[in-house]
Amino acid sequence: MNSILNIEKNTVVDKANAFCKANGLELVFTYEISKADLQIISERTKNLPAMYHASVGMLLDRLKNGCFLIMKNGEIYGHIFAHRHTIEKHSVYERSSLWIHKTYRNHNLGLLLMDCLTKKFTKDFLISIAQEPTVHHNNELLGMKFITLKDLSPVLIETLEKLGKLRDEYKYKYYVNPYFESKINQFNKVLKNKI
């Protein structure tokens, strides 16, 4: 990764960790969340226009991939999940349902959760589809690579299109992790043979 971006990322992540420590916030990786908390998270995704609605069932499915939480006194103050898309026998993970409690916003905790998830999936295909320039910048900080739709196999596009935010390169930008980037041609070839 570009070393200036890497230094910037490490500084921001260090700041976020220091903020957590100073405020009694704990970063947790888990495969378990109570039904009541899942219900709250699901409602949140429904009510916030920037989020894609995830039902409790969808969240339970995503929980199989594990999720990162920011906790304090047993309460959830931040979360991020990974949404697994299956293309033929292959899995492509997409970051999803990122949220930070209003009290703790703008202290880089969103980026901290994105960093944790990116690190967890270094040996998997990870994709981020987003609109906001801040997220694009964060993706670059996290070492993700910008790709265009023509770089992706039509089979993969078809699957991801179900999210309703593909084939729109004006609004959205696509970033993949270095592992995905390194295998993209191979992956496209495998998928082409399946058509």
Ligand X SMILES: CC(C)(COP(=O)(O)OP(=O)(O)OC[C@H]1O[C@@H](n2cnc3c(N)ncnc32)[C@H](O)[C@@H]1OP(=O)(O)O)[C@@H](O)C(=O)NCCC(=O)NCCS
Angle value at C-alpha 56, between 55 and 59, nearest 5 degrees: 90
Q: Please say which residue, 77 or 187, places its beta carbon nearer to ligand X.
A: 77
What is d(CA 185, CA 192) in angstroms, rounded to the nearest whole number?
A: 10
Tell me, residue by residue from 120 to 139, as one string, x for binding to ligand X by CB under 6 A and - for no binding: ------------x-xx--x-
Binds ligand X (CB under 6 A): choice among 38, 67, 100, 184: 100
Which residue number has the CB closest to ligand X?
Answer: 110
Q: Does residue 110 interact with ligand X by CB under 6 A?
A: yes
Residue 129 and residue 164 in contact, taking contact as beta carbons nearer than 8 Å: no
Out of 22, 36, 50, 195, the only residue in the binding site for ligand X (CB under 6 A) is: 50
Contact set for ligand X, span 176-195 (CB under 6 A): none
For residue 159, which of 127, 121, 182 has the smallest C-alpha distance? 127
- Are 42 and 96 contacting, i.e. CB atoms less than 8 angstroms apart? no
CA 105 to chain centre: 17
- Residues in touch with ligand X (CB under 6 A): 48, 50-51, 98-100, 105-111, 132, 134-135, 138
